[in-house]
Amino acid sequence: MNGLKTGADGRLRCWWGADEGIYADYHDSEWGRPVRDDIRLFEKICLEGFQSGLSWLTILKKRDNFREAFKGFDFEKVARFTQASVKRLIKDAGIVRHQGKIRSTINNAQRAIDLRDEFGSLSDYFWQYEPDARRRPGRITNAELMKMTATHESREMSKDLKARGWTFVGPTTAYAFMQSMGLVNDHLEGCHVKMACVDDRERLVF
């Protein structure tokens, strides 16, 4: 009921990240850890778009293939992809072969350059949407988390990105991105990673 589960190592984790393997590793070392690196931020918002209609585990298992296919998600390189690139990627069984999402990633890379040029970095743009603590629940319980598939900040981010020409960036996708990149810390109360994410945020340099 509280959303926590004990892993094989005896540690309490958010229920979705408690099983051994790739999901537990992602839960412990990545999800909720604050990220300022532009390449990682661009990669994640693109992969969140690819996840639409699928499970994150599906994307996570294919992530290395995605990285190879999209030049490590270097948006300067992806922005130069051509129609021939689209045809190549549609044939790549290692990724999700959805033409709309592939084209979206190329489009968003071009828009990312514009964003970087305007704000100095993607990081400075995205982190402006970090919510004020006063707008957040005092405790992140499973019940509270189930209510937060989208928030005021994720709706504002989505609205602004769409106005700038980005695609596959709806409010729910934007909030999942915020959760994973540490703009919010949605590890449940009692999860052993929660305080580590707090510490990481306190050390983050702007």
Among residues 23, 48, 127, 166, the one annotated as catalytic is 48
pLDDT category at 2 given cuts 50, 70, 90 is confident
Neighbours of 29 (CB within 10 A): 10
68 catalytic residue (yes or no): no
**Domain assignments of the chain as residue spans, ordered by start:** 36-126+136-188
CA distance 62 to 164: 29
Residues written for the chain: 206
pLDDT in tens, 36-52: 999 999 999 999 999 99
Among residues 56, 130, 144, 189, the one annotated as catalytic is 56
DSSP state of 16: G
26 catalytic residue (yes or no): yes
Which pLDDT belongs to residue 1?
63
Among residues 15, 16, 26, 130, the one annotated as catalytic is 26
- 32 within 8 A of 17, measured Cβ to Cβ: no
Angle at 90 between CA 93 and CA 30, to 5 degrees: 60
23 catalytic residue (yes or no): no
In this structure, what is the dihedral angle of CA atoms 113, 116, 119, 121, given to the nearest 10 degrees? 170
CATH number, domain 36-126+136-188: 1.10.340.30
How many CA atoms, within 13 angstroms, populate the side-chain half-sphere of residue 200?
Answer: 19
Q: Is the pLDDT of residue 198 over 90?
A: yes
Q: Is the pLDDT of residue 133 over 90?
A: no
pLDDT in tens, 64-99: 999 999 999 999 999 999 999 999 999 999 999 999
Which pLDDT belongs to residue 203?
93
Q: Is the pLDDT of residue 27 over 70?
A: yes
Q: Is the pLDDT of residue 166 over 80?
A: yes
Q: Report the chain's C-alpha Rg in angstroms.
A: 17
